[in-house]
Amino acid sequence: MSERIPVGILGTTGTVGARLVRLLADHPWFEIAEVGASDRSAGGRLGDLLAGEAGPLPERVASLEVRSLSGSWSSPVILSALPSSVAREIEPALAGAGHLVVSNASTFRNDPDVPLVIPEVNAHHLALLERQRGRWPGAIVTNPNCVVTGLAMALAPLHERFGIVRAVATTFQAISGAGKPGPPAGDLVDNVLPFIAGEEEKVAYEPRKILGALEDGALRDAPFRVGVTATRVNVLHGHLVSVSVELEGAPGPDEVLDALRSWEGRTAGLGLPSAPARALEVTDDPTRPQPRLDRDRSGGMTVTVGRVRPCEALGISFLALAHNLDRGAAGAALLNAELCRVKGLVEAASPRPS
C-alpha cells in the first residue's frame, strides 16, 4: 500500500475533474482512490470516460471505476468539481461525515464560515475553519471563480502595499471556463459573447472576501468595490482581465510595478508541490500577456501581469492572465489541499466508517 494520502474526486468526468485527474495522476503526496460523477457515468472505466482528455494515465488510475455520489467515501480528502447545485447537497454531507472537502464550486464561497483561499494571498484565512467546528466534524475549503483567481492575485500586492479604493474589471474568458459542453461553436466564431450568467456578481464580490481582514476569528470583507463586465471570447484556455484601479495615495506605474515585482506571497518555504516559484510574473512587453503565449507558465500556475500604465480615470490600468483550469480551478483546489496538508488539516480529517 502506498504511503500517499488517498483522495476522492467528485465531478471527475467534467472539464475541471479531468484536469484534477491529470494533476493528481502522479502527485507526490496524494493518490486518486475514488472517482465520482453522475449516474450517467457511474459504472464506467475512468480512462474510457475521459477518452484522453486527462492525457496518458497510469493503468491504476485509468482502470478506476467511476461511481455515483451516493453511499459513503473512504478518502480523508475529497476534491469537488461538481456543479454548484449538486455541491449544495453533497459537500455538507461529506463534511458531516468527517471529510476535508476542497471545492471548486461556488456554492459555499460566500459562506462566512468557509475560507475562500488562494494560498499565496490568504493562507491565513484557513483560521475560519474554527467557525465550522459546530457545523460538522469535517471541513469545507473553497477556491475562487476561475477569473477571480488571476484578478485577486494581481490586486493582492496593491491592496497590501497601498490599499484599493475601487476597481473596474472587464474579462475576456476562455471557452473551457464554461465547462461541458460549452457554448456552441457557431456562437463563438467571429464573435464575443457579452454576458456570462452569474459571473459578474462573483467577480465583484470574491476579491473583497479574499483580500478581507481576519478580526477576532471572523472575516471583514475589504471595503473596495469592483465594477465588472464579463465576456466570453474564442480562446480555448486562459482568462484575460483588463483592470483599472484607484489606489490610496495615487501611486504611479513605477511604484505599482515595484509592488507587483517584489510580492512574494504567503507560500514561500512551505514546499507545496503545486506552488510555482513565482506566483506573479510581470512583463514589460507591451504585446503581452496573451492567452496562447502566457497561460502555461509554471504548469499554468503563474499569473502574468502586463501593460501596467497610467489611467486617466482611476490612476492605474493593467492586464492579468491566468490559466482558468490550472490556476483558476483544478490547480487551485490542489494547491489548497496541499496547503491544508502542511497545516495539519488533512491528518485531522477522519471520515466515519460506514
Ligand X SMILES: NC(=O)c1ccc[n+]([C@@H]2O[C@H](COP(=O)([O-])OP(=O)(O)OC[C@H]3O[C@@H](n4cnc5c(N)ncnc54)[C@H](OP(=O)(O)O)[C@@H]3O)[C@@H](O)[C@H]2O)c1
Binding site for ligand X (CB under 6 A): 11-17, 37-38, 40-41, 69, 81-84, 86, 104-106, 146, 176-177, 179-180, 324-325, 328-329
Q: Which of 309, 327, 305, 325 is nearest to 317 (CA)?
A: 309
Rank residues 13 and 274 by Cβ distance to ligand X and give the closer one: 13
Among 146, 237, 323, 340, which one carries the catalytic annotation? 146
Question: If you count DSSP H runs as helices and E runs as strands, how many of each does the chain have, helices first?
Answer: 12, 14
Residue nearest to ligand X (CB): 14
In whole angstroms, the minimum distance from the beta carbon of 186 to ligand X comes to 20
In whole angstroms, the minimum distance from the beta carbon of 86 to ligand X comes to 4
Buried b (16+ CB within 10 A) or exposed e, 220-247: ebbebebebebebbbbebbbbbebbbbb
In whole angstroms, the minimum distance from the beta carbon of 208 to ligand X comes to 18
In whole angstroms, the minimum distance from the beta carbon of 122 to ligand X comes to 17
Task: Find the angle CA(270)-CA(122)-CA(156) to the nearest 5 degrees.
Answer: 110
Q: What SS3 state is found at 266? A: coil
Rank residues 255 and 296 by Cβ distance to ligand X and give the closer one: 296
Cα separations in angstroms, 33 against 51, 255, 320? 19, 48, 36
Rank residues 5 and 146 by Cβ distance to ligand X and give the closer one: 146
Rank residues 159 and 239 by Cβ distance to ligand X and give the closer one: 239
Q: What SS3 state is found at 100? A: strand
Catalytic residue list contains 340? no
Residue 116 falls in which region: left (phi positive, over 0), alpha (psi -120 to 50) or beta = beta
DSSP string, 296-349: TGGGGT-EEEEEEEEETTTEEEEEEEE-TTIIIIIHHHHHHHHHHHHTTHHHH-
Among 237, 239, 323, 340, which one carries the catalytic annotation? 239
Residue 171, CB half-sphere, CA atoms under 13 Å: how many? 32
Catalytic residue list contains 239? yes
Rank residues 106 and 274 by Cβ distance to ligand X and give the closer one: 106
In whole angstroms, the minimum distance from the beta carbon of 70 to ligand X comes to 9
Which residues carry out catalysis? 146, 239
